[in-house]
């Protein structure tokens, strides 16, 4: 199974950079930025250069493109009809749509998706950071896929391109 992440209406360049880094670490096939064409990606630790990136001007166009490619489109948002990500069984290529840091995804944006998941919370906050939410969603998805994690060398993971160098 492959994952794609759509970043819709993300405002902060630091969040964009950290999201790219998280997506790279968790093996997404592609990161799609919707909306603004030019952006900085502070905090990505040079993963921007090894992450497949694309751009669409509208979320509707991006969803239409990925749906035609056979992806299931899943919003990550707190809504009355969303399912807990802990109870969803992922079984096909999936696009995760991540929304704005403050307002999340609008009802119209969620309506463009095939399903919606939320991340259960147990503390005092009303929500979690978009990068953290993306990491939780991708880790849950990858745990259900048949993909093998990268090898470790000491206290770091070895990049896939260098894994063949390990004994």
End-to-end CA distance of the chain: 28
Q: What is the pLDDT of residue 69?
A: 97
Tell me the per-residue pLDDT of 45-99, one tens digit each, with 9 for 90 and over.
555 566 788 999 999 999 999 999 999 999 999 999 999 999 999 999 999 999 9
Counting the structural domains of the chain, the total is 1
Task: Note down the domain range covering 152.
Answer: 3-165
**117-154 burial string, b = 16+ CB within 10 Å, else e?**
bbbeeeeeeeeeebbebbbbbbebbbeeeeeeebeeee
Token output for 93: 């290529």
**Torsion, Cα of 31, 35, 41, 45 (10° steps):** -10
Which pTM was predicted?
0.87
Are the C-beta atoms of residues 47 and 159 closer than 8 Å to each other?
Answer: no
Q: What is the pLDDT of residue 161?
A: 59
CATH number of domain containing 14 = 3.40.1280.10
């Amino acid at each position: 199974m492959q994952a794609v992440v759509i970043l819709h209406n993300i405002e902060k360049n630091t969040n964009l950079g950290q999201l790219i880094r998280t997506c790279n670490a968790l093996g997404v096939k592609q990161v799609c930025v919707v909306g603004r064409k030019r952006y900085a990606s502070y905090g990505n630790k040079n993963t921007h250069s090894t992450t497949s990136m694309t751009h669409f001007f509208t979320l509707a166009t991006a969803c239409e493109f990925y749906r035609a490619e056979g992806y299931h489109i899943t919003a990550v948002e707190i809504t009355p009809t969303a399912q807990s990500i802990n109870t969803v069984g992922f079984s096909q290529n999936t696009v995760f749509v991540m929304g704005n840091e403050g307002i999340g995804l609008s009802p119209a944006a969620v309506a463009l998706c095939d399903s919606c998941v939320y991340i259960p919370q147990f503390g005092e906050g009303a929500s979690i950071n978009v990068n953290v939410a993306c990491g939780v969603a991708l880790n849950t998805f990858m745990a259900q896929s048949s993909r093998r994690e990268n090898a470790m060398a000491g206290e770091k993971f070895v990049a896939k391109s260098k894994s063949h160098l390990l004994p």
